[in-house]
Amino acid sequence: MRLNRTATLLAALLLVSCSAAPAVTAAPEAASSWDHGWARGAVFYEVFVRSFADSNGDGIGDLQGLISRLDYLNDGDPKTTADLGVDALWLMPVFDSPSYHGYDTVDYEKIEPDYGTGADFERLLAEAHKRGIRIIVDFVMNHSSSKHPWFVEASSGAASPRRSWYEWRGNDPGWKQPWGSGSTWHRNPRDGAFYYGIFWSGMPDLNFRTPAVREEMKRLAGHWLAKGVDGFRLDATRHLVANGPGEGQNNQPETHAYLKEFAGHVRSAAPRAVLVGENWTETPVIATYFGDTAAVPGGDELPMNFNFPLAEAIVQGLTSGDAAGIAGKLAEMAEVYPAGVDDAPFLTNHDQTRLATQLDNDPARLRAAAAILLTLPGSPFLYYGEEIGLQNGPGGADEFKRTPMPWHASPGGGFSTGKPWHDFAPGRETANVAAQARNRASLHSHYRALIRARKGSAALRLGNLELLTADDRSAPVLAYLRQSGKDRVLVVHNVTGAAAVAGPFKIQGKKATALFTTPGTAAPARGRDGWTVKLPAGASGVWKIK
């Protein structure tokens, strides 16, 4: 049944560029378009280096450890099926930082010593590129660490030449965090003035009204692009400039203006690069961060933006057993997202309780979540461990969302020969790579099959989305048609714990060829009124219709 409001997500086809060489051209004026066809439809994998693999027994994951696990992520051979098959990695902060998470930078040009050296990072890039894996890194522009030499200098007194790199006031204007109750103006013990830090006193916000700050961030981006980095995940982008309390701390015109300036610089330095913005807010606001798609195909601001609302709708839909909320979010995106942009869907990230815990470790729901994510338009992001159903640790602190990767069930878990920097999450007996990699019915095998189905279908990777599920009433099945050229793929997901029937769907074609089906799922039946699908509880089906 088609909606009266047929929602269609358009995905323009950018020229696919396979230039693996980390060419950084001289900076002519901003290139007219991005050349990162490699990223469109690609599957990304978010890695917390500290928790992924430790090579030297100090209990801390490092770059050498990550290199040793690249073949697990993608061995570079499209014919093999044992590897996960992801196309790109997003490394959470790897620059020098005093914290375990690295979101407070003290040197934007130095690799975190816990993780290794600059040479290790260059070896990682080379080994990844050899396998066709691209790497984007977290770039935290909104603030530095209060231990950064810039801030140490700026906080020495009002006469400091660095003073204007941060924001200062003589008193505390009392602004709170826009999302909570934390203070955002902090007293500088060295001279009694107050400085702005939207997160906390250890993260003073950089002042993007200062030209030298704007130029330095562009220079740093160029530095890492010249080393071969394939792009950046930009942290807290919606907070770059604050003009006042509350909404004045979010989404300001100066923020958009700078992001366009920054993106223009990246486009001219390395058109092959990609930027993905973190704007944790509502759909209509996220839509504004792509910028102008007439000026630059894909948008002249951030070509990709994480889709927090869709992530939430998927988890809520699977929790409630009702697909209407997911359908509604897809319909809203079709209305407010600019045409031709590249979405960045995901399920949960390092700031959120892990998916397996949110879905009560329910295998059918975890399988359905993966099947929805990996059949959507855009470039889906997996969070390390999601593919094995890694649970959240038993606590509320953020560290429990970022626990060591369990490679096998033995005491050290294959993560380190030393004492891990943090305890493993519960469930390692079964939620570990070794146990799942060899089990065809495992979640890990499910992710691998879905990633390969996606790679094998232009419609799934690059096609548009036509919603077939009404969003104005409860629905047990989420159904949509993905289309690219003549490639038409029917996708259905039963988000309930009971068998369900979906259709009839009027889709041109006489033959249904399975690209992916949850075991026990029969092919769609073609009748007078169209295609009808019977789905077991939690099952998904993906069929090419010709």
- Cα 227 to Cα 26, 223, 232: the distances in Å are 14, 7, 13
Q: In angstroms, how far is the first alpha carbon of the chain from the final one?
A: 19
Q: In the complex, what is the shortest distance from the CB of residue 198 to ligand ACG, in angstroms, rounded to a whole number?
A: 8
Residues 153-182, one symbol each (x = binds ligand ACG by CB under 6 A, - = not), give --------------------------x---
Beta carbon nearer to ligand ACG, 392 or 464: 392
- Catalytic residue, from 54, 62, 96, 278: name it: 278
Instruction: Give CB contacts under 8 A, 24+ apart, made by 409-413.
Output: 409/434, 409/435
Point out which residues pair with 143 in neighbouring strands.
Answer: 205
Point out which residues pair with 487 in neighbouring strands.
Answer: 484
CA distance 484 to 342: 15
The total of other beta-carbon atoms located within 10 Å of residue 360's CB is 10
* Residue 103 touches ligand ACG, criterion: CB under 6 A: yes
- Concerning whether 387 is annotated as a catalytic residue, the answer is no
* Residue 235 touches ligand ACG, criterion: CB under 6 A: yes
Beta carbon nearer to ligand ACG, 351 or 529: 351
Beta carbon nearer to ligand ACG, 349 or 494: 349
Residues 263-282, one symbol each (x = binds ligand ACG by CB under 6 A, - = not), give ---------------x-xxx
- Catalytic residue, from 96, 104, 235, 343: name it: 235
Closest Cα to residue 48, out of 31, 63, 26? 63
Question: Do 191 and 155 meet the contact criterion of CB atoms below 8 Å apart?
Answer: yes
- Cα 78 to Cα 22, 230, 481: the distances in Å are 22, 21, 26
Q: In the complex, what is the shortest distance from the CB of residue 282 to ligand ACG, in angstroms, rounded to a whole number?
A: 6
Which residues 297-316 are close enough to bind ligand ACG by CB under 6 A?
A: 308, 312
- Concerning whether 235 is annotated as a catalytic residue, the answer is yes
Q: In the complex, what is the shortest distance from the CB of residue 181 to ligand ACG, in angstroms, rounded to a whole number?
A: 12
* Residue 107 touches ligand ACG, criterion: CB under 6 A: no
Q: In the complex, what is the shortest distance from the CB of residue 280 to ligand ACG, in angstroms, rounded to a whole number?
A: 4
Question: Do 284 and 243 meet the contact criterion of CB atoms below 8 Å apart?
Answer: no
Which residues 351-390 are close enough to bind ligand ACG by CB under 6 A?
A: 351
Beta carbon nearer to ligand ACG, 57 or 395: 395
CA distance 333 to 325: 12
Coil vs helix vs strand at 292: coil
User: From the list 75, 101, 499, 525, which residue makes contact with ligand ACG (rule: CB under 6 A)?
Assistant: 101
CA distance 128 to 140: 23
CA distance 162 to 158: 9
**So which residues are the catalytic ones?**
235, 278
Would you tell me which residues interact with ligand ACG (CB under 6 A)? 101, 103, 140, 179, 199-200, 235-236, 278, 280-282, 308, 312, 350-351, 398
